[in-house]
Amino acid sequence: DQSRIAVMLNNVPLNDNESYQVYWVDHGNILDDAANVQIQRGIGNSLYGSSAFGGSINVQTVVGSEKPGAELEIGGGSYNTSKLNLKVSSGKFWNNRLNTSVRLSQIGSDGYRDYHNSFQQAASVGLDYYGQKVTHEFRALIGYERTHLDWWGVPVEDINDRQLRKAGYKSYIDDFKQQVYSINSQWNINNNLHLSNVGYFVKGEGYYETEKSSAYDPAVGDISACDEFNAFLQSYNLDGYYPGYPWDGKAAMELGFTRRKWIVNDYFGVIPTLTYLKDKFRIDLGGELRFYRGDHFGEISNFSDEELSQMITGDWYRYYRYIGDKRIGTAFIHTTVNPLRNLRIVGDLQYQTINWQLDQKKIGYAPGYQLNADWQFLNPRFGMIYSIGKDWSLFANYGKAQREPADNRIIEADDIWGKPVKAAAEAIHDLELGTSINKSIWNASINLYRIRYFNEQLKNIDIEQEGEYDYYQAGKTLHRGIEVEFGFRQSKYWSLNLNGSFSEHVFSDGELKGNRLPNVPGILVNGSLAVNPVSHVSLLLTSRYVGKQYIDDENIGVNPEFWLFDGGIRLSFKHIELNAKVKNIFDVLYSTSGYGYEWDGYWAYLWPGATRNAFVSLAVKL
C-alpha cells in the first residue's frame, strides 16, 4: 500500500494530506525530468520528511544540460497508446549563474479494459541559480489527467477468459489538475555549517463523475423499493421537490442524474534544515511547517425528470459540502557519529504535532458536524553500522513511527448518514538486522525485519458505493520477513541483478489472529539482465514473480501467483535514440489484486493485468 510510503518531489511531500495516497497519474511523464530517485526502505529518517511506514521515495528533477538544446520524443504502442514530449533547455548563461528548461508532454491510451482510458498533459519549468555560496532551484510542475475508470473487478470465474476479463463500464470519470511549486535553497555558510530550505505550494482541483439512478415499480412487488427510492432522494436533498413526499408507494417512480464529487485543495509549507559537519560527527536540526485546506462538495445535474430540471435553477445542484483543515508542525534532530574507525552510529528524534478540523455544512439532512482533534507524536530512531574490512558491513536499526488516522476513518462527511467515530493513531515498531558485501564485480545483502503494527488502517472496497472504500482498523498486526539482493557485473557488456522478499503479514490479535492480511503477497522476486553487446545497443530483460494473495480478511478468496517477463532494446546515436519495449512477453493471464465478500454465498472479484503489449518511441536531440 503506497499510502505507507513517504513520496516527495524535489523534497516536497506529495502524499495526500487526508488519505496519504499518491496519485502518480497527476504527474504524467515526471520521470523524464528525474536526475535522481532516492529510495529508502523501512521507517524513513527525518531527513526524508514526515513519518514513513513503508519507506521513502524522493524524485529530484534536473533543469537540463549545461549547453542549449532541445529534445523531441514521440511514441506509440498497444491500446492506442501515444506519447509526445518536448523539452527545451537554455544551458548556463549570465556568467554561468542561471540555467532554465521547459518541458511539455501529452500521454493518451485507451487502456487494456473496455472503457478504461486515460488522457494526461503535463508541463514543467525549472530555473537554477548558482552563486558562490548560495544555490536556488525553482520548479513548477503542472499536471492534468482525465481518466475513465473501471472501479469494479472482474468475477473470478471470468478472469481467465480473454474477452470477459476486459469487460468494463462507461460511467466513472476522474478529472484532476495539480500544480506543484517549490524552491530548494542551499547556503554554505562555511566549511562546517550549511543551511537548506524547501518552500512549496501545492494546489489541486478536480472531480469524480458517475451516473446515479434509482427507481421502484409497485407492479414488481418489492416492498422495500419505495423506501430505498425515498432514501435515495434524501441522500441528495431532493425529497423537498416532490409534492406529497413521502408517497404511498402506489405509483412507479424513476430518477437518474450525473453526479460529481469535487475536491479543491491546497497546502503550503517550509522545511528548513541546519547541518553541522566536523570530522566524524554530523548533526542536522530542522523541521517542517505545513498548512492544508481541502474543500469537498458534491453536485448533480442532467436530471432524467424534466419537471425536476425546471424546478432546479443553475447548471449544477449542490447537495453536500465540507471543509477540512490540517496544520502540521515537525521538529527533528538527526545525528551521525563515528566513535570508532569502523563503527557508525545514527540517531534520530522527531516530534510532530497535528491539528485537524472538519466543518460539515448543514445542507439537507447533513447534521453539520464541527469536529477537531489534536495529536502529538514522538518518534525515535536508532541505528548502527559496523564495517568488517573495506567491503563487508553489519547493520542494525530500530525505529518507531506514528501517524494520525485518515479523515475517512473518522467520518465519511459526504454521507448524510455518516457519524463520527473514534479512530486511534497508527503506530509501528520496526526492528531490522542485516549485512551487505560489496566486491569489485558482485554485491549482496540480506535484511531481516520484524514490524509490530498497532491500529493498522485497512480498507475494503465499498460494494455499495463506487469510488469509495470501507476503512477499518486492525488492533495488532505483525509483519516480518527476509529481504535479499544480489548483483553481478563482470564487464561493461552485461550485468545481472536479483532481489527478493519472503515475508509474513498477519493479524496478531482478535478473531482474525493468524490470518494473513489481504492483498499482500508473501513472496516477491525480481530479476534483470542488461546486455550491451556494442556501444550503441542496449538490451534489457526483466522478470518478476508475485506469490499468491488472499483477497479478504477471512482468507477465503485467493489471487493466484504469477510470473512475468518484460524485454526492451535501445539504439542510441549522437542525436537519435530508439526504444522498443514488450511487456508480458509470454502473454500471461494474471490479476494484480482483488476483493471478496459474503452475501448469499461468497463472491470474489479480481482486477486483471494487461496481456502482452508493446511500446516504441523515437527521441531526437538537437
The pLDDT of residue 219: 73
The pLDDT of residue 245: 62
Instruction: Give the pLDDT confidence of 449-466 residue by residue, as tens digits.
Output: 999 999 999 888 777 777
Element (H, E) at 438: strand 426-438
CA 24 to chain centre: 6
Distance CA 375, CA 427 (A): 12
Q: What confidence tier does 220 reach under pLDDT thresholds 50, 70, 90?
A: confident
Is pLDDT above 70 for 327?
Answer: yes
Strands (DSSP E) contained in 279-390 are: 281-301, 317-340, 343-360, 370-388
Distance CA 114, CA 610 (A): 12
pLDDT average, residue stretch 177-187: 97
Q: What confidence tier does 266 reach under pLDDT thresholds 50, 70, 90?
A: very high
Distance CA 518, CA 549 (A): 7
Neighbour tally for 537: CB within 10 Å: 12
Going by C-alpha positions, the residue among 589, 602, 479 that lies closest to residue 552 is 602
Q: Is residue 266 part of a domain?
A: yes
The pLDDT of residue 29: 81
Q: Is residue 189 part of a domain?
A: yes
Instruction: Give the pLDDT confidence of 5-56 residue by residue, as tens digits.
Output: 889 999 999 999 998 888 888 888 888 888 888 888 778 777 766 656 778 8
Is pLDDT above 80 for 604?
Answer: yes
Q: What confidence tier does 576 reach under pLDDT thresholds 50, 70, 90?
A: very high
How far from each other are the two terminal CA atoms of the chain, in whole angstroms?
41
Question: What's the total number of domains in the chain?
Answer: 1
**For residue 343, what are the β-bridge partners?**
340, 386
Distance CA 580, CA 501 (A): 29
Share of the chain above pLDDT 70, in %: 97
Is pLDDT above 80 for 250?
Answer: no
User: Which pTM was predicted?
Assistant: 0.94
Q: Is residue 621 part of a domain?
A: no
Q: What confidence tier does 221 reach under pLDDT thresholds 50, 70, 90?
A: low
**Length of the chain, please?**
622
Distance CA 415, CA 468 (A): 11
- Tell me the Cα Rg of the chain: 27
Distance CA 450, CA 39 (A): 20
The pLDDT of residue 216: 82
Residues 6+ apart with CB under 8 A from 248: none
pLDDT average, residue stretch 553-563: 97
Q: Which residues constitute the domain of residue 415?
A: 2-491
CATH number of the domain at 320, please: 2.40.170.20
Q: Is residue 135 part of a domain?
A: yes
Helices H, strands E: what count in the chain?
3, 31
Residues 6+ apart with CB under 8 A from 174: 25, 145, 146, 147, 149, 206, 207, 208, 209
Distance CA 146, CA 206 (A): 9
Q: Is residue 521 part of a domain?
A: no
Instruction: Give the pLDDT confidence of 52-100 residue by residue, as tens digits.
Output: 677 888 899 888 788 899 999 999 999 999 999 999 999 999 999 999 9
Q: How does DSSP classify residue 515?
A: P
**CA angle (567 as vertex; 563, 572 as ends), nearest 5:** 160
Q: Is residue 601 part of a domain?
A: no
AA identity, residue 550: Y
Is pLDDT above 70 for 223?
Answer: no
Q: Is residue 506 part of a domain?
A: no
pLDDT average, residue stretch 568-597: 96
Distance CA 105, CA 120 (A): 8
pLDDT average, residue stretch 152-178: 92
Distance CA 145, CA 181 (A): 18
Instruction: Give the pLDDT confidence of 399-437 residue by residue, as tens digits.
Output: 999 999 999 889 999 988 889 999 999 999 999 999 999
pLDDT average, residue stretch 386-396: 95
Q: Is residue 570 part of a domain?
A: no
Is pLDDT above 80 for 441?
Answer: yes
